[in-house]
Chain A
Amino acid sequence: MALKLPPQHNLQHSSTITADSQVHHGHPAQPRGILRWLLTTNHKEIGSLYLIFSLTMFFIGGIFALVVRAELFQPGLQLVNPEFFNQMTTMHGLIMVFAAVMPAFTGLANWMIPLQIGAPDMALPRLNNFSFWLLPVAFTLLLSTLLMPGGGPNFGWTFYAPLSTTYAPPSTTFFILAIHIAGISSILGAINIIATILNMRAPGMRLMDMPLFVWTWLITAFLLIAVMPVLAGVITMMLMDINFGTNFFNAAGGGDPVLFQHLFWFFGHPEVYIMILPAFGIVSAIIPTFARKPLFGYASMVYATASIALLSFLVWAHHMFVVGLPLVAELFFMYSTMLIAVPTGVKVFNWVTTLFRGSISFESPMLFSLAFVVLFTIGGFSGLMLAIAPADFQYHDTYFVVAHFHYVLVPGAVFAIMAGVYYWLPKWTGHYPNERLAQWHFWFSIVGVNLTFFPMHFAGLAGMPRRIPDYALQFADFNFISSIGAFFFGASQLLFVLVVVLCVRGGKKAPAKAWEGAEDLEWTVPSPAPLHTFETPPNFHRSSH
């Protein structure tokens, strides 16, 4: 038996491979303890590192959210001052986007893409190690800004200039460096994923034979390579404005604060699809498995994903409808944004049609995926409403927007990640997760998430702006319910940790094909997957789709 977690179980297995690597590279015996994790080039170990890092950051970002929700529990200022409140909303957003959701998807990609395409590892294993270890550096630096004089970033995760330049705390330069490092990590990770997918598929596997998780990640990786340099550019311009006397965003020096927003959202809108496309892939793997029926419209799923990715470059200014754009720009961005509903709708219809006349069971990965379909669609509906530019003059920068993007990110991206974890845990650990606890986790999460975010629609429509530490009395009831829901949701996530820890330590043994209806290549290797798989490429037959 070969297992990659915890380290001591690995000895028997490592003797064979290190002997091999010694021959080729003259390495000493495989390091143990902390060095093993620092130096590993194995896609499964790096995948686990990404996932553990992401989960840790999910809780840190979650604690920041709970500080926000605790302050908003009732009107008045009780717990934190407005300055610290702004740091909490900012850090919550930054950590959740860059340190929780994105690394979770990269972790799943590391684990599953080689297994799903029959490759022995990622194409660039040492680069893979570097991509991961940049992240703890970046986010330790980012979190440390909270302890610096003047506090951490307090200008929202969108860091609009000049609030984030001329008027920013002194720690902003460290914030810029942290985002640069995280951005490099993402770009390197994306290069690695593209190189792996394009070069290392099992013989006979054409692009249109790949599982959708691989497809969505291929497209996501191209998005990352296209837009992370734009982010790097815009934060470098901030750096210059702050430290080197340039005036890119300073109106007093002839600069343009609105230029910042154009650049930011040219990155930012593809970025939100970077956080959802791999989720589409996960759900497209799980629903057919538990409906015991092939995915409906595989080809249209691929085309829809590609269209969403292309459209994402043409819609950025819908985040800027009230910034004073000319009428033609408003119309162009309204129409292009409405168009996004078409490929997104196709995806939802495909998932529902996959369920139709299937043979459906409701294990925890399926429950999270079904919740994803319903709640992501609700987030899509509010997105469609936000696309209507005249109405956006009322919705913009209110809690309606907060409700919208939390619906697509929490029961959207986060639920899909959890569905993926429950789905692939048997492959990673050799044990099924405790189904009863996982179901409790699901039901608590679904209640918590709706209790937290549904009332925000009403608060926003009734006129509550976002990012305020105190509010008028007519918003009190909605905020009260949201805060209760947030603490309930936050506490339920401890159950998730419990299920994962229990599953790593033991549980019902899983066979190679852990789920009856599962079809992809990962289910042909033993559970747990040995440290090295597909050293000889598998024979791929086109039956899977």
Chain B
Amino acid sequence: MRSLKHWSVVSFLVPTASYAWNMPVGVTDVSGDIYRLHMTIFWICVAIGLLVFGAMFYSLFRYRHAKGAKAAHFHENTLVEVLWTAIPVLILIAMAVPATATLKQMYNPSDADLDVMITGQQWRWRYEYMGENVAFISSLSTPQVQINGEEARGETYLLDVDNPLVLPVNRKVRFLMTSDDVIHSWWVPELAVKQDAVPGFINENWVRINEPGIYRGQCAELCGMDHGFMPVVVHAMEQEAFDKWFAERKAAAEKEISGIDRDWKLAELMERGQATYEAICASCHQPDGGGSPPAFPALAGNEQLIADQAWHLDRVLNGVSGAAMPAFRNTLNPVELAAVVTYTRNAWGNDAGDVVQPLTVQELIAQ
């Protein structure tokens, strides 16, 4: 009941200014075109509605049986029937012309300045700047305590991620979309980009953002348990800021790779592994490793996992055919893979006691 307090009657009668009621105009030329199409067809519908409902309510009021109306007996009129078939056809043709033009524009991803591969995974997004060796995973960062209502919800509740997709403004960016498991749909209303990410297919879309800013959206295609918890955040920057961010990201990626061939300590791997586990694995296997059987088996106390390191590595690297467990060999780097396997073998009372080195994982992937 505590949370019901702020539901005063007024709160929904007087929406605050930030509450949108309509489709956003957005920050790209295409999103503006779509908005105008939307408003045009909306006003056409309003006009037809006024005519039809006007005639209907006039008749209902004017020809009431209770007021002694006598019914006429006509039941056909060819001219009228031809007219009200032909006029809608003309209206529809008038509407189809601009819609076709906009659609053609949306279907032209050629001459892009930057290609970004977007991969949907249950339940996060992976972004890869094609040909640039920069790739990262973007997951929900709204804390669980806010979802449970134990903490006040922030303004961007459910619309925050750890690593937003960063893009330059005024550049044509081509998106290539696919999925590692089920169908997802990448959607940012302000960019008017919604495109399904389908396993086994690569879909194209593109965007040229006109204004710097942070634009938020969500997965739009039901993709399982946490479909409601995989937001999309795009951070659009001026070119210089983008270049600076991109250089930092590249340097960080190189540093990450450079650690592969040294010998990692158990404590280091456990710390690194816990971070990876919580970002990637916990949504299915749960933060306490308890899983949600039968779809998502428990890892804590899983005897096969503890006893057989090779089997454990194979499951993580190659996934489980016919089940929800994806292959992570291409989506996580060897350090993350070694760390998360080490972590799950030694956390929550699991007592394998062994350490998996990044180098071992790299060799396995290379095979």
A24 / chain B contacts, CB cutoff of 8 Å: none
A→B interface (CB under 8 Å): 74-78, 82-83, 86, 149-150, 154-156, 160, 162-163, 166-167, 169-170, 251-252, 255-258, 291-300, 322-324, 327, 330-331, 334-335, 338-339, 341-342, 345-346, 348-349, 352-361, 370, 373-374, 377-378, 381, 384-385, 388-391, 393-394, 396-398, 458, 461-463, 465-474, 477, 480-481, 545
Output the nearest chain B residue to A76 by Cβ-Cβ distance: B149
Output the nearest chain A residue to B99 by Cβ-Cβ distance: A388
**What CA separation (Å) do A75 and B195 show in the bound complex?**
26
B216 / chain A contacts, CB cutoff of 8 Å: 472
**What CA separation (Å) do A82 and B229 show in the bound complex?**
10
B348 contacts partner chain A, Cβ-Cβ < 8 Å: no
CB–CB B192/A472 < 8 A: no
B42 / chain A contacts, CB cutoff of 8 Å: 385
Which of B82-90, B303-311, B331-339 has 4 or more CB atoms under 8 Å from chain A? B82-90
- Which one, A150, A300, A324, A397, contacts B198 given CB within 8 A? A324
CB–CB B59/A331 < 8 A: no
A370 / chain B contacts, CB cutoff of 8 Å: 56, 60
CB–CB B73/A294 < 8 A: yes
Nearest CB of A to B330, in Å: 14
CB–CB A393/B34 < 8 A: yes
Output the nearest chain A residue to B177 by Cβ-Cβ distance: A324
CB–CB B22/A461 < 8 A: yes
CB–CB A356/B55 < 8 A: yes
Output the nearest chain A residue to B160 by Cβ-Cβ distance: A472
Which of B111-119, B151-159, B163-171 has 4 or more CB atoms under 8 Å from chain A? B151-159
**What CA separation (Å) do A140 and B84 show in the bound complex?**
47
CB–CB B200/A334 < 8 A: no
Residues 24-42 (chain B) with a chain A CB within 8 angstroms: 24, 33-34, 37-38, 41-42
Residues 19-70 (chain B) with a chain A CB within 8 angstroms: 19-24, 33-34, 37-38, 41-42, 45, 48-49, 52-53, 55-56, 59-60, 63-66, 69-70
In the complex, 23 of the A-B residue pairs with CB atoms within 8 angstroms, ordered by the A residue number, are A162-B181, A166-B182, A293-B72, A323-B196, A323-B203, A342-B88, A342-B89, A346-B85, A348-B52, A352-B52, A356-B55, A358-B59, A360-B63, A381-B48, A388-B38, A388-B95, A391-B23, A393-B192, A393-B195, A397-B185, A397-B220, A463-B189, A465-B219
CB–CB A76/B227 < 8 A: no
Interface residues on chain B, size class: 35 or more
CB–CB B84/A358 < 8 A: no
Output the nearest chain A residue to B4 by Cβ-Cβ distance: A74
**What CA separation (Å) do A167 and B222 show in the bound complex?**
12
CB–CB B59/A360 < 8 A: yes
A357 / chain B contacts, CB cutoff of 8 Å: 59, 63, 71-72, 74
- The CB with the most chain B CB atoms within 10 A, among A391, A396, A471, is that of A391
CB–CB A394/B194 < 8 A: yes
A154 / chain B contacts, CB cutoff of 8 Å: 224-225
CB–CB A396/B194 < 8 A: yes
**What CA separation (Å) do A526 and B88 show in the bound complex?**
45
B322 contacts partner chain A, Cβ-Cβ < 8 Å: yes
Known: A75-B153, A258-B198, A389-B103. A297 touches B19 (CB 8 A): no
Output the nearest chain A residue to B40 by Cβ-Cβ distance: A388
Known: A76-B3, A257-B183. A327 touches B103 (CB 8 A): yes
Nearest CB of B to A210, in Å: 16
CB–CB B63/A331 < 8 A: no
B49 / chain A contacts, CB cutoff of 8 Å: 377-378, 381
